């Protein structure tokens, strides 16, 4: 049987029956719509660029979620992670946006400073990609995007603020101006970013991301979101890092924290809406109010009146 090509290839360049057999036998996988590669090749930036180059129109620039993907940042919603994305591209004003299977085209006014090359492929810069996505996505996703680009690409609050000066009254820009000061490179996952923004939007105090619990000079734990002054923490348990294999470790960690006076609230993916969201936010508000109101330790005072000497 003929082996799949070593380099990425277009599905249309292979007889349909042969491609179906390769997919059925696990020999190839789909990377982008219409673009495939051998399963023996690990995912990498170089592979992603090579796949994008096969379907990128000559006058187009990779943008939005596809650009984030090339920058090493996944911005799909949790329910979209296993879907094969279309390639999102932008063309300059006066050009026709590409309309073909596997491509999502748009017309966008990009300055030369908004475009860079990744392995020879034109892509919006990390800053432009972050700001474009933050304008186009909902509030929670927007903060997660800004956090991720700060963490992965080293963007600063100043970088983002300067980049916004060219956005004028673009739709979504008011949201981004509000979120930029709240963004943090310390957030390590989209779930942590979502958790932080719903806490802030509920009017609760801002938690500290990635607070370290240190004992005898050794870092025992890092808490996703913490109020160390009140020994209150909020942990986001995503499926990727807190699955069945981690249950025993997670349980031991939570028990240690509880034994040392910490109140820990665990948040999972399904708890970002409806009654589940209201329940853990109410618990957080209650425990903060209770611990904040605890009387301070009082010290004995001298009974004698103060005498000026």
What is the tens place of the pLDDT at every residue in 241-263? 566 777 888 899 999 999 999 99
Spatial neighbors of 153 by CB under 8 A, at least 6 apart, are 71, 73, 126, 127, 130
Residues β-bridged to residue 155? none
State the CATH architecture for 190-292. 3-Layer(aba) Sandwich (3.40)
pLDDT at 306 over 70: no
Rounded to whole angstroms, the Cα distance separating 305 from 230 reads 36
**pLDDT, mean of residues 210-231:** 93
How confident is the model at residue 309, as a pLDDT?
43
How confident is the model at residue 53, as a pLDDT?
85
Q: Residue ranges per domain, the chain?
A: 44-182, 190-292
Interval 102-159: pLDDT, tens: 778 899 999 999 999 988 889 999 999 999 999 999 999 999 999 999 999 999 999 9
Place of tokens 């932008």: 90
Higher pLDDT, 54 or 300: 54
């Amino acid at each position: 049987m003929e082996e799949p090509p070593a380099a990425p290839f277009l599905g249309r360049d292979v007889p349909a029956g042969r491609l179906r057999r390769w997919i059925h036998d696990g020999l190839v996988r789909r990377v982008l719509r219409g673009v495939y590669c051998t399963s023996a090749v690990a995912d990498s930036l170089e592979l992603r660029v090579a796949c994008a180059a096969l379907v990128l129109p000559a006058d187009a620039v990779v943008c939005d979620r596809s650009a984030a993907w090339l920058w090493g940042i996944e911005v799909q919603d949790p329910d979209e992670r296993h879907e094969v994305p279309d390639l999102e591209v932008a063309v300059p004003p006066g050009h026709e946006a590409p309309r073909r299977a596997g491509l999502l085209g748009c017309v966008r006014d990009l300055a030369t400073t908004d475009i860079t090359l990744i392995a020879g492929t034109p892509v919006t810069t990390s800053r432009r990609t972050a700001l474009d996505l933050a304008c186009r996505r909902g509030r929670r996703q927007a903060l997660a995007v800004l956090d991720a680009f700060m963490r992965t690409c080293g963007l600063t609050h100043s970088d983002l603020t300067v980049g916004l000066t060219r956005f004028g009254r673009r739709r979504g820009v008011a949201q981004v101006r509000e979120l930029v000061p709240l963004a943090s490179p310390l957030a390590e996952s989209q779930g942590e970013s979502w958790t932080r923004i719903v806490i802030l939007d509920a009017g609760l105090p801002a938690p500290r991301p990635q607070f370290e619990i240190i004992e005898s000079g050794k870092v025992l734990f890092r808490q996703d979101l913490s109020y160390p002054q009140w020994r209150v923490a909020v942990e986001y348990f995503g499926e990727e890092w807190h699955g069945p294999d981690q249950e025993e470790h997670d349980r031991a960690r939570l028990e240690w924290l509880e034994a040392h006076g910490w109140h820990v609230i665990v948040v999972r993916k399904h708890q970002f809406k409806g009654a589940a969201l209201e329940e853990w936010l109410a618990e957080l508000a209650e425990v903060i109010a209770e611990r904040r109101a605890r009387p301070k330790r009082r010290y004995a005072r001298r009974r004698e009146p103060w005498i000026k000497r």
